[in-house]
Structure 1
Amino acid sequence: MAPARDFYEILGVPKTAGQDEIQRAYRKLARKYHPDVNKAPDAEDRFKEASEAYAVLSDPEQRKRYDAFGEDFRRVPPDVDPETWARARAGAGAGGRARAGAGAGGFGGFGGFGTGGEEVDLEDLLGGIFGGRAGRGRRPGGFGWGPMPGADQEAELEIGLDEAYHGGHRTIRLNGRTIDVNIPVGVTDGQRIRLAGQGGRGGEGGQPGDLYLIVRITPDPRYRVDGRDVTVRLPLAPWEAALGTTAPVGTPGGDAKVKVPPGSSCGRRLRLRGRGLPNPHGGPGDLYAEVQIKVPPQPSAEERRLFEELAAKSSFDPRRRS
């Protein structure tokens, strides 16, 4: 059996890579090989491979164990010393038997096992390290360490702003499976939705891993979203901006009204407290109405006369520095 590919190699990052670099590499591969967009025969396998690699390397504890024990990191009990494991693996590669004692290669003086050149069966030695589970009766090709949990996986879920605001229900296809997803009210961009037991399959009867859906709120033509705060454009006529008014404004939760102070210029942001994205665990975000001054595209004769009269009488210069 060919050895498993190195997780760092799969993601195309060095072993010194930080979490941001690992995340960027995974996202690039996920977009490239996601089965919904890539119909190549090996796309699904490549996507699963990248997801498993990211699930391990993005978790500090799992990454630490992977760096120490390589592809066996899930099988090695938590109390095993990495150096002990490395010596055991080196001995196994030399033919399955290691000679203990002063003249032994790789196990000299190890834990008092054998003296004077006595041969020690490596499988018996490993059985001692792992609680006696690697002796007779083990499964062919493995050490018989029992059920192995499946890897956690990640995927992106694109939703609209209305879904983020009100919550909802989705049925998605992922890795050849149909999965029901409940979208919580007030979910934000980048938030993770955990689906227990929907990740990678476990080995030898082990529990499956979890699936984490990373929420991506698609751009909305009406609104701009920043965390839980939402910004909407507020068109005003020149006289409304100059004299002040109360104007209707659309929000993701329905229509509202905003008071416009006199002398409001383009770009002024008027806050409606608590009208942004809701927060089930705290205060909701705010909505900001951003002033945009609009002029009549084809003014009537009377409108034009009034504008000309205002221009003749007003001393206001918008290009003069205040």
Structure 2
Amino acid sequence: MAQNRDYYDVLGVSRTASTEEVQRAYRNLARRWHPDLNKDPGAEERFKEISEAYEVLSDPDNRKRYDRYGHAWQQVPEGAAAGPGGPGGPFGAGGGRRVYVDTGGGPGFAGGFGEAGFGGMDFEDLLGGLFGGAGGRAGTGGFGRMPGADREAEVTLGVEDAYTGGRRRLTLDTASGPRGYEVTIPPGVTDGQRIRLAGQGGAGSGGGPAGDLYLRVRLAPHPRFRVEGRDITVDLPVTPWEAALGASVPVDTPGGTARVDLPPGSSSGRRLRLRGRGMPNPRGPAGDLYAEVRIAVPADLTPAERELFERLAADSRFDPRNPAGGRG
């Protein structure tokens, strides 16, 4: 871990960042660099550095002293008036000792922090039970209120469920075993969209708030509907005479049956648009549904059908293989 690196640089935030921005940056970095998730050899040291920076910048008084005295802020009593000098103050930027999280649960820094000392905090305490543990212990190691880590899981929905939305009970596998959640699915949720369950993530420590659980939606393959964003495509089987003469034909949608006007002379592959009949959108226009024409012929012809088709074949000059326009 780089010595005396600026805490704002560690978290990637500006010196004017709000408490919420500091917390958000910490959560994102903690998930990325937690040694149980990141097997990079330097992940543990990076995680310690991130945790140390967050402990200082998340506490208003500690942050105020750090802004004034830099890494010597620990040597300044709480509530002490700001002294002369910029960041680092009279102690210089290299003063003070660094406190880090000890993976073994032993003392955090050899010799402690000043005379008070800080015990080690394991990863589960720091991330508030990210892996299904009992959560942080209040005040463990003197770190104070620490928010729980956000979690993310994938949930697979059928197209019809995603279309209609509603209240669902979902069971997810967690490190401590299967767990059920009551989830409100917004109508028209799309593949890759995240659903936030506030306070259902890792438990906080020291009385800190729990993190959030984010469910990333994956749409299951459907035998009829093909979903791209909010648009839906469905095959529309039609008879040869409907395709030739035109007709009003029914078409399946996730919201029920609709009707579409098939223009005369429609060939297979023609796409008919039903505006607004795709996936709903609570914040804007709904997607569209596209009915793709597929001409179907009877597998077994009756004598009458065969006679009609033979007469058509004898009388018609239509040739779809003729590049001159289909007429022989």
TM score, norm. by length of structure 1: 0.62
Q: Output the amino acid matched with 1:56.
A: R
Q: Give the 3-state SS of the residue equivalent to 2:191 in structure 1.
A: coil
- Mapping of 1:1-322 within 5 angstroms? 56-57=31-32, 69-76=46-53, 77-78=56-57, 113=91, 125-126=97-98, 134-141=113-120, 144-174=142-172, 175=174, 176=177, 177-321=179-323, 322=325
Q: Is the 8 A contact 1:267 1:292 kept in 2?
A: yes
Q: Identify the residue that residue 132 of structure 2 maps to in structure 1.
A: none
256-265 or 144-153: bigger deviation: 144-153
Q: CA RMSD in A?
A: 3.4
Q: Once the two structures are aligned, what percentage of the paired residues are identical? A: 54
- Work out the CA distance in 2 between the residues paired with 1:187 and 1:274: 15
The structural deviation recorded for 1:251 is 1.2
Q: How far does the alpha carbon of each residue in 1:263-288 deviate from its partner, in whole angstroms, 9 at most, with x for none?
A: 10001110111111111111111111
Q: Output the amino acid matched with 2:48.
A: E
- Work out the CA distance in 1 between the residues paired with 2:29 and 2:154: 13
Q: How far does the alpha carbon of each residue in 1:61-113 deviate from its partner, in whole angstroms, 9 at most, with x for none?
A: xx9xx8995334133234669xx87x9xxxxxxxxxxxxxxxxxxxxxx8654
- Work out the CA distance in 2 between the residues paired with 1:55 and 1:227: 31
- Work out the CA distance in 2 between the residues paired with 1:310 and 1:262: 17
The structural deviation recorded for 1:234 is 0.9
Q: Identify the residue that residue 46 of structure 1 maps to in structure 2.
A: none
Q: Give the 3-state SS of the residue equivalent to 1:283 in structure 2.
A: coil
Q: Which runs of 5+ in 1 are unaligned?
A: 1-51, 88-109, 115-119, 128-132
Q: Give the 3-state SS of the residue equivalent to 2:199 in structure 1.
A: coil
Q: Is the 8 A contact 2:250 2:260 kept in 1?
A: yes
- Work out the CA distance in 1 between the residues paired with 2:226 and 2:302: 34
- Work out the CA distance in 1 between the residues paired with 2:30 and 2:289: 36
The structural deviation recorded for 1:191 is 0.6
Q: Give the 3-state SS of the residue equivalent to 2:51 in structure 1.
A: coil
Q: Is the 8 A contact 1:189 1:227 kept in 2?
A: yes
TM score, norm. by length of structure 2: 0.61
Q: How many residues align?
A: 229
Q: Is the 8 A contact 1:273 1:286 kept in 2?
A: yes
Q: How far does the alpha carbon of each residue in 1:254-308 deviate from its partner, in whole angstroms, 9 at most, with x for none?
A: 1111000011000111011111111111111111111010111111112111111
- Work out the CA distance in 2 between the residues paired with 1:173 and 1:294: 42
Cα 1:154–1:55 change in 2 (3 A) is: farther
Cα 1:54–1:303 change in 2 (3 A) is: farther
- Work out the CA distance in 1 between the residues paired with 2:227 and 2:31: 31
Structure 1 segments, 4+ long, off by >4 Å, are: 52-55, 66-69, 110-114, 124-127
Q: How far does the alpha carbon of each residue in 1:237-261 deviate from its partner, in whole angstroms, 9 at most, with x for none?
A: 1011011111011211111110000
Q: Give the 3-state SS of the residue equivalent to 2:142 in structure 1.
A: coil
